Amino acid sequence: MSSITPEAAGKAIRKHFKEAKTFKENNSLGLSRNKFEKWSTLGDFSSYLVSSSGRIWSKRSKKYLKATQHPYTGYMKIKLKRDSDGHAVTLYLHRLIASVFLPNLESKPEVNHRDGNKKNNSVWNLEWVTKEENQRHAQIHGLGNVKLKPIEVENIFYLAWASDMTQEEIGNLYGVRRSIVSDIKNRKSWEFVTDFKVQHEMGLFE
């Protein structure tokens, strides 16, 4: 999706990591010593540390913060208290990680999950994209709210598990590809819809 060469991107990322404040003595903070995981401070949120693997550490409570999933967009979100005014601010985790660790060489406005999994917020799974690139990625992989409403996703999930219809027949009924039906059935996409009630009503994945 980008015209930047892998060599240029790698050089920029290495430079960014070098300039960021990282912590060699992770043990003293109780943080992971994974050599592939980088930690950095977070601007106006000095009570927290953010890692390149998508984790947030609270200096005050001495523990990792748990992100929650937005019920409609499916993106992971986290609430942090800002230094300047003390207000709690809700931030999307993927944008937070990208803004700290991923150089935006072309000033693109949106952040895409390469594998389509909105729970995987490692910097290596993120990329800055244009709105058009993000939409094209979603259409190719059957992700997000491209054609389906949540109620339609629930219906597809029910039909895929409990009816005699083939995935192709279900796809034709709702105007989507068979692969999208398969992803919904196996919760590879739209899992934030099926997680809420469908799987429990059907007694699946418990």
Q: Say which DSSP state 194 is in.
A: H
Q: Say which DSSP state 28 is in.
A: H
- 94 neighbors 126 (Cβ within 8 angstroms): yes
Sign of the Cα torsion 164, 165, 167, 168 reads: positive
Q: Are residues 41 and 136 in the same domain?
A: yes
Closest Cα to residue 129, out of 1, 11, 5, 3? Answer: 1
Q: Mean pLDDT of successive 10-residue segments in the chain (206 residues)?
A: 56 52 45 72 93 93 92 87 92 95 93 86 90 75 59 82 86 82 78 50 45
Q: Are residues 32 and 133 in the same domain?
A: yes
The distance in angstroms from the start CA to the end CA of the chain is 38
Number of other residues whose CB lies within 10 A of the CB of residue 138? 18
Q: Answer with the one of 140, 157, 179 that is the final residue of a domain.
A: 140
- In the block, residue with structure tokens 């598990």: 161
Q: Answer with the one of 91, 108, 140 that is the final residue of a domain.
A: 140
Asked whether residue 38 is assigned to any structural domain, the reply reads yes
pLDDT of residue 204: 44
Asked whether residue 1 is assigned to any structural domain, the reply reads no
Q: Are residues 113 and 193 in the same domain?
A: no
Q: Say which residues have a Cβ less than 8 Å from residue 66's Cβ, sequence separation at least 6.
A: none
Residue 189 belongs to what domain range?
Answer: 144-202
pLDDT of residue 79: 94
The count of domains in the chain is: 2
Instruction: List for the chain the helix, strand, coil content (%; round to 5).
Output: 40, 15, 45
Q: Are residues 128 and 163 in the same domain?
A: no
Q: Are residues 15 and 110 in the same domain?
A: yes
- 38 neighbors 19 (Cβ within 8 angstroms): no
Asked whether residue 34 is assigned to any structural domain, the reply reads yes
CATH for 14: 3.90.75.20
Q: Are residues 160 and 69 in the same domain?
A: no
Closest Cα to residue 74, out of 125, 45, 104, 117? Answer: 117
Q: Say which DSSP state 67 is in.
A: P
Q: Are residues 180 and 83 in the same domain?
A: no
pLDDT of residue 49: 95
pLDDT of residue 197: 46
- 41 neighbors 99 (Cβ within 8 angstroms): no
pLDDT of residue 145: 47
Q: Are residues 49 and 16 in the same domain?
A: yes
List the strands of the sheet with 68-69, edge to edge: 68-69, 76-81, 88-92
Q: Are residues 119 and 152 in the same domain?
A: no
Query: How many whole angstroms separate alpha carbon 56 and alpha carbon 186?
Result: 29
Q: Are residues 134 and 190 in the same domain?
A: no
Q: Are residues 101 and 157 in the same domain?
A: no
